Chains A and B, each alone.
Chain A
């Protein structure tokens, strides 16, 4: 059983489209995250949710809207996709983001290519 699973793993879409990436964790964690890895492999946090509440929003464009229906799920919806959105998006989870130092476990990544 994959602890943090995200779908789809690969996504190729045209500029201007709207797409979603889904994420689920079965670790019983309270906190979930989205990280973005660019073409140079640089990893940066986008959002974090603790028990369905937004905790971190790292100046991500409004076209990106996370949604957490429950604490085991955190989906990422992207509107009006741009070429620069091409990246690998990683979902992650940890026990409780408000208690620092917990290990963050990552999903396998979703490769988004905008053409």
Chain B
């Protein structure tokens, strides 16, 4: 069965600090997809990144970076030089290749960036 665990329920840092959000997943499939979504205080769900299981290359997009490690079943998300606008709940999600697609979400990490 597929499962996503975000062990950090809440994180609070001061602006300009770097912060890493952890995500650990479980799946029996060899082909799967990992996602991160952001839910700001306004409530919408914003897509950030998708990564397939065959691509372990780390990705950087501006202040955001993602570290995918199959050996530890982790897909961690780092924000460098955090800003107040980064305050949100962040969700990691998994989709397996077999059958109809559905996202299994982690519990979410509430990130608060203090000025």
Contacts and interface: CB of A to CB of B under 8 A. Distances in A.
Interface of A: 31, 33, 35, 40-45, 48, 50, 55-56, 58, 88, 90, 92, 94, 97-109, 111
A45 B103 contact: yes
15 contacts: A31-B101, A40-B107, A41-B39, A41-B110, A43-B93, A43-B103, A43-B108, A45-B102, A100-B96, A101-B33, A103-B47, A104-B101, A105-B47, A106-B46, A109-B45
Query: What class of interface size applies to chain B in its complex with A?
Result: 20 to 34
A106 B44 contact: yes
Interface of B: 31, 33, 35, 37, 39, 42-47, 50, 52, 89, 91, 93, 95-98, 100-103, 105, 107-108, 110
Nearest to B108: A41
A101 B101 contact: yes
Given A42-B107, A97-B101, A101-B33, A106 B45 contact: yes
A108 B108 CA distance: 17
